Amino acid sequence: MSILFPNTKQDSEPRKLHLNITRMGGLVGDVTVNLTVVYILPGTSNPSNEVALTYPPAISTAAGFSSVSVAVEIADDGFIKLGASFKAELTSVSLQGGGM
């Protein structure tokens, strides 16, 4: 008797959570936002470090552009539980070179 298993080669690309940040109310000057992203287990409201998240803490949008996409990488060995959530929070926003 022989049992064949499908190829279990892991994907070389990490899993990602994609965030889109849109600026509204004008496109003058560069905008930089700082953010935090946390993983929240089902039934709780406290952040968990069960999955390692990697993302840039500061994201810039150039003058004339209204949005930017950010990829948050999720560790390959992190298991995302059913009912869990991710919370992204802007911690600061700054405008450089804005004119009146």
User: CA distances (Å), 85 to each of 15, 16, 26, 47, 54, in order?
Assistant: 15, 14, 31, 10, 16
The predicted structure's pLDDT at residue 8: 45
Report, in angstroms and rounded to the nearest whole number, the Rg of the chain calculated over CA atoms. 19
- Given pLDDT bands bounded at 50, 70 and 90, which one contains residue 12? low
HEC secondary structure over 37-67? EEEECCCCCCEECCCCEECCCEEEECCCCCE
pLDDT at 98: 63
30 or 9: which leads in pLDDT: 30
Kindly report, residue by residue over 44-99, the tens digit of the pLDDT: 999 998 888 999 989 999 998 999 999 999 988 888 899 999 999 999 999 887 65
Please state, in angstroms and rounded to a whole number, the distance separating the CA atoms of residues 24 and 70: 17
pLDDT confidence of 9, banded at 50, 70, 90?
very low
- Structural contact between residues 51 and 80, judged by C-beta atoms closer than 8 angstroms: yes
Check the CA dihedral 93-18-13-49 and report its sign. Answer: positive
pTM: 0.74
**CB within 8 A of 82, min separation 6: which ones?**
42
